[in-house]
A and B are shown apart, each in its own frame.
Chain A
């Protein structure tokens, strides 16, 4: 039997894997949604772009739904505080995520152009808004958000939606937009050719450069302006999950402490920059498959950078730092973490296996002729 301590660490890592899985797979769907109006002009071109992800986006989105379920099961307090605290942000994400399945499925069901163009706008919003808001949310998590508990662990969130749109939150939001636009564009480079591909290349260059600039700016801001958090009291890594029994220090620059203690950790953000540069290079020499691998790496290392900076916090409280949620006092019970781990170990390999098979079956470019011929196309 694994110790509670180890299980919590494993679930912290798995949370990162799920987030990265979501950002890497559904990330390119969001990116392509954002690029849709700009890389494809005619209706046929748009259908090509939509059909490059048409058969796979639905499975990709499950990463997000599973992420929600896993947070609920493994970190119930995090689920409760963040979802209710970020109420309107969550509802906007929800709006976008609802527009997507409907948009894909219904857009090409009627020949009317206005109908189709309206859905294209919806699909653009459905790509842009979650990408922006996920980044904004992470930016705010890094700064801490105002919440506290009463003795029965009922959570009270005292911020508003507009408070989330602060400078650092927006920097993170735009970083996420640039990153996913870049990731989407390299996926599209692999799946489309001709005019669409030419236009997309331009967006790959622009978005990768923007990502590099914004990621650097975010890092600078984090080191110099954003308050970090550190646990001061002794926190039992095997103790019961109750976030009311610790004291936490809040001070600008504290998020850099792990990097100062162990400079090897700088590899993670460095990997973000390097893989963005390699994405540019690979796109330049038209090696699009390599470009996709590099941009996936860029997405993964960005998620990892945020996670490592926050460790061991999940959600710091800016108004009551002592009540911040950490991985050692906001998890579910020992038994639940264990059951969930067993379920994950059984199903995750299966999921990866059949998902790869589906991508293999759907390999190859999507052309206008394909879209016209196949009556099932979007």
Chain B
């Protein structure tokens, strides 16, 4: 059997379940809003074609939604089942947005989704429209809260370490709520969801138009998707840029890794378009650079340098050394909570306690760590550079392509030239791209955060539950089998119902 330890297995399981979950989430985000838009047109114009559209895309929405909910439950459980120490260490802060997500978003979504499907005859038109909007609102609010939680993992604000309880506790909830990283991520992520929904509608409409089926429905759907998608695609790129700026401020290592930037870039920093980052030699070969651009994105200026990986590792090394006294003081305090000298030391060094914890991989006695161990731990703060470098570039390329695609769709729709075979083919084959870029986006965000589970506070390897590797092997295999079967079924039903199209659906059951 492949040798993987508990930490790698737990990470693999989380990554697998999260990435499968995120096949369904962006479509829910985008399609729920598109349904609400279509139904609004129906209620305003009273033309039944728009109701048929809402119901047809609604069926596909339902097939997708069920899997989104099902795989989402796993995510909420998994912090506790597989990341128990993480849950204890930051639950005081991290649990709050999750609970509010339930109160504010899941109830809204879960209660009204039933009426969306079953309420067509029981509700007046405006009442049903409100229900549809509430479902869309619920989905989007759930994205807000989960990204507040995730934003805090990337940029932990408004919290402090309490040695009495051996965990992080909240000190300023407003800071957690209005965390700039969370806000930028939220808008970037929901926009990506809108792009996914719009491309889904665009591609399937293109498929119908290519085959001259359901033309009235497909034309209108395409028009809605083009307009909505263009706005969303522009906002994804603009807000992705905002995320880049914030990463430049808050997660310098992630930014440097995404750029394959080993040496500090003097001002004005240039952006690498292409290159082959090498994790062993600490160099990026064949780099093709655009002057000024990175400086503009990451610092909004041309006068500031951007720190490279080598310099950031040196900073990490200093922070580890600075954190060791905090750890020593903490050990004293756990036996003698009244020791005020230790309390003072801890307070003075608390910001770097997390860095000292990086040493736990190398020695159980952090206070006796050798310079070599400190050096090695400092290099652990570098994530996988080539993987981030390339994932990021493919994601950005997809994002730019989406703008072109929607712009073309928009022009064709305005000119009423729906039967443009080349465009329709391109639109149809673009279907997988929003998923590709969304998954890569999460990969950049989460793998770029490594080795931290909470940036600068808690190393990932300390966050796991005390489980046996056999237990996690068993659950991981179980998840892979179970999710694969369900995902195959979902795809099968999706394709079947797309092929059936809107009209036969009425006779189907």
Contacts and interface: CB of A to CB of B under 8 A. Distances in A.
Interface of A: 54-62, 65-66, 68-70, 72-74, 76-77, 79-84, 87-88, 90-91, 94-95, 97-102, 104-106, 108-110, 151-157, 240-242, 332-333, 335-336, 339-340, 343-344, 347-348, 351, 354-355, 358, 361-362, 372, 374-377
Contact of B93 (A65, A88, A336, A376): A336
Contacts of A151: 166, 334-335
Contacts of B66: 101-102, 104-106
A98 B114 contact: no
Interface stretch (B116-124, B231-239, B278-286): B116-124
Contacts of B92: 73, 76, 332-333, 336
B509 interface: yes
Interface of B: 55, 62-63, 65-67, 69-71, 73-74, 76-77, 79-82, 84-85, 87-88, 91-96, 98-104, 106-108, 110-115, 117-123, 162, 164-167, 169-171, 173, 334-335, 465-467, 471, 474-475, 478, 482, 486, 489-490, 493, 496-497, 505-506, 508-509
Contacts of B112: 59, 354, 358
B169 A58 contact: no
B87 A79 contact: yes
A84 B493 contact: no
Nearest to A69: B99
The 7 closest A-B pairs by CB, nearest first: A76-B91, A83-B80, A55-B114, A73-B95, A66-B102, A59-B111, A72-B95
A336 B170 contact: yes
A87 B81 contact: yes
A257 to B, nearest CB: 28
B118 A362 contact: yes
**Helix, strand, loop or mixed for chain B's interface?**
helix
Contact of A332 (B69, B91, B103): B91
Contact of A54 (B93, B104, B114, B474): B114
20 contacts: A69-B100, A72-B76, A72-B80, A72-B87, A84-B80, A87-B467, A102-B489, A105-B63, A105-B65, A109-B493, A153-B88, A157-B466, A333-B92, A333-B169, A336-B92, A347-B103, A347-B104, A361-B119, A362-B115, A362-B122
A82 B87 CA distance: 11
B505 A375 contact: yes
Most chain A CB within a 10 A radius of its CB, from B77, B84, B486: B84
Nearest to A109: B493
A79 B91 CA distance: 9
Contacts of A336: 92-93, 95-96, 169-170
Given A79-B87, A88-B471, A240-B164, A102 B102 contact: no
Nearest to B92: A332
Contacts of B76: 65, 68-69, 72
Given A84-B467, A333-B170, A94 B74 contact: yes
Contacts of A69: 76, 95, 98-102
A240 B162 contact: yes
Contact of A98 (B71, B117, B505): B71
Contact of B466 (A57, A154, A347, A375): A154
A241 B95 CA distance: 16
Contacts of B111: 56, 58-59, 62, 351, 354-355, 358
Contact of B489 (A91, A94, A106): A106
B110 A68 contact: no
Contact of A375 (B88, B122, B506): B506
Contacts, number: 254
Given A69-B101, A361-B122, 18 more contacts: A59-B114, A62-B111, A70-B102, A72-B76, A72-B99, A76-B91, A80-B85, A84-B81, A88-B474, A90-B77, A100-B70, A102-B486, A153-B165, A333-B165, A336-B96, A347-B103, A351-B107, A361-B115
Given A55-B114, A76-B88, A240-B165, A70 B99 contact: yes
A58 B113 contact: yes
B161 to A, nearest CB: 12
Given A69-B102, A336-B96, A358 B114 contact: yes
A55 B118 contact: yes
Contacts of B166: 151-153, 242
Contacts of B94: 72
B87 A80 contact: yes
B131 to A, nearest CB: 9
B87 A98 contact: no
A60 B112 CA distance: 11
A79 B118 contact: no
Given A95-B482, A347-B103, A155 B88 contact: yes
Contacts of A153: 88, 165-167
A81 B84 contact: yes
A54 B77 CA distance: 24
Contact of A361 (B110, B123, B171): B123
Nearest to A152: B166
A235 B7 CA distance: 36
A377 to B, nearest CB: 7
A375 B508 contact: yes
Contacts of B489: 102, 106
Contact of B91 (A65, A73, A106): A73
B69 A101 contact: yes
Residue of A102, A157, A351, A355 contacting most chain B CB atoms (<10 Å): A102
A80 B169 contact: no
